[in-house]
Structure 1
Amino acid sequence: MPNQPPRPRPRWADSLRSFVRGLGDQPTRPSPTDERVAEANYSGYRRLTRRHVVKNGDVMAAGSRERRDRAAAARAEAQAGEKRRERTVRIIGAVAVLAVVAGIIGVAVIARSSDENSNAIDVIEADPSAPVPDGVLGADSQWAYGVAYGTAGDDAPVLELWEDFQCPACGSLEEANGEGIAEVAETGIARVIWRPTAFLDRNLGNDASNRAIGAWGCAIDEGFTREYHDAVYANQPEEEGDGWSNAELVSIAEDVGMSGATLDSFSACVDDETYRVWAANSTQEFYDQGVAGTPFGKIDGVEIPTQSLADQPSLLAALTEATGN
């Protein structure tokens, strides 16, 4: 076949070649779908991992904080509880001290203000000419109308003790160291002189202290000085101001061992009110001496604190000091 001149390429072929070459010069790009998947596989994993790590950290941190918060709260509660307990102890202690002080002050105030209620009952008037029980000191004594008790001689220190049978503090003293006070008298360490007073009658609106002192005078005549004294305190009414009836005062005499003619004599003495004026005389001495309240003690004329009266070692030390030994 004879050679023929080359046939020119169609124009469309050149355009196609240029188009194909242009495609080859451009960077290969993933399809939109592939790009989203790749991005999801990369950044999604990182985000998921980051979120997972942070989340675990948050949980651990939150747990640690919660434990610390609970521990702190427990410590705070324990400290608060301890403070409440300490405050309660202080309050209870303060209330106890105030109660004791108030009781002492209350008795003193009652003694000073007793005349305000003098019209509440029929008061038996003092009369120095009235009889006194056997062995009781007379109106001319330094301890007028006092009940001397014990075996001590004249050179022994004198312990005088003002009491009111209705006085709760006197009852407490008797319970605390009545035995010790009687012991120093019975062993001759000191001369004990009981100084009875009925000042509480006017304040409580009764005559129980006066009648109890009068009954004690009747018991002294029968030889039951200490026994009846102690028994009256042992039978002190629970409610201050209730006092004792005459029948109860006679019953106390039976309790300490009186019977037969002795009990009859005692009962007649009580019914006749033989020593109620003696009680009034002793009470007037209480007022005249300006005693603040009961119980009130002195050793050789010098006041002794009630807490020393209530404590036997302290009482013995005070008596020893009074003798100069």
Structure 2
Amino acid sequence: MSKNTPERREARKQRAAEALRQKQAEERRRRIVAIVSVVAAVVVIVGGLTWWQSSRDTSGKVADTVPSIASGSGASDGTPAELDGYGIFIGDADAPSTVTVYEDLQCPACANLEAQLGQPLAAAVDAGKVRLEYRMISFLDRASTNEYSSRALNAALAVLDTAGVDAFRAFHDDLYAHQPEEGGAGFTDDELVDRAVAAGATESEVRPQVEGKVYEQWIKNATDQMSKDGYNSTPTILIDGKESDPQALADLVQGS
């Protein structure tokens, strides 16, 4: 009869740990395959809609109202943030990597990417490993009966402008977690305001911006700029300025 020596127990422990690592790696690969499949499935549709949107002439039209980040309302954990042009930057400017994500709040592939990698990406930002640039655009108004895409983005910018980074991130994540189905009605203005307040905004401050669609022209210009930048689908991911895919992003924020 073989003896249950400490060496044998340690060997079994190591084999079990290795099996667990392999299982976790396989599960991560499976999730990424699912993300890539969804992204690939919508690229053709999204590309056509992007061309429809960017073909509208918005040149020469300057936005009357430009979003900002509420004064003195940096992230509660000290994570820095700024708005530069059409980019909403969150994280340390000296972080080793910068991740840029072009996204539409009505885009199903964007919601899927957020569901799979949103939390590890946020953790990497908060840990100072990644600086995240949101390039939020709107071209999927035709995918709803009440122009949800542009209205939702306008509301997100209103939250950023009146309540700051923490509230914006919470609102952004909530809208993706409860994304309306394409082809129907998105949230009403009242529902957007309620969700904004739940995320940390003040109703009296955010409601006028939501109901007035005060960032409408800025959103059109941001969307047009995406086309000028040479990108025609969402989500589009750039890592340090180079177009990448969800697998590369997963490797960056989770490790291979």
TM over 0.5: yes
Counterparts of 1:1-325 in structure 2, within 5 Å, are 101-114=40-53, 126-128=61-63, 130-134=65-69, 136-138=82-84, 144-150=85-91, 152-154=92-94, 156-201=96-141, 207-221=147-161, 222-223=163-164, 224-240=167-183, 242-258=185-201, 262-309=202-249, 311=250, 313-317=251-255
Structure with more relative contact order (C-alpha pairs < 8 Å, separation 6 or more): 2
Cα deviation for residue 254 of structure 1 reads 3.1
How far the C-alpha of 1:104 sits from its partner, in A, is 3.1
Does the CA-based 8 Å contact 1:297-1:305 persist in structure 2? Answer: yes
**How many residues were matched structurally?**
207
C-alpha distance 294-100 of structure 1, shift in aligned 2 (>3 A):
closer
Alpha-carbon contact 1:166-1:241 (below 8 Å) kept: no
Gaps of 5+ in 1: 1-96, 139-143, 319-325
Contact 1:126 1:284 in 2 (8 A): no
CA distance in 2, matches of 1:130, 1:257: 22
Q: How far apart in 2 are the matches of 1:247 and 1:292?
A: 32
Greater percentage in helix: 1
* Structure with more of its chain in strand, by fraction: 2
Percent of aligned pairs sharing the same letter: 32
Q: Distance in 2 between matches of 1:234 and 1:274?
A: 25
Cα distance change, pair 205–180 in 1 and its aligned pair in 2 (3 A)? same
Seen in structure 2, the aligned counterparts of structure 1 residues 208 and 161 have a Cα distance that, compared at 3 Å, is same
Which consecutive residues of structure 2, in runs of 5 or more, have no partner in the other structure?
A: 1-35, 70-80
Q: CA RMSD in A?
A: 3.0
TM-score by length of 1: 0.56
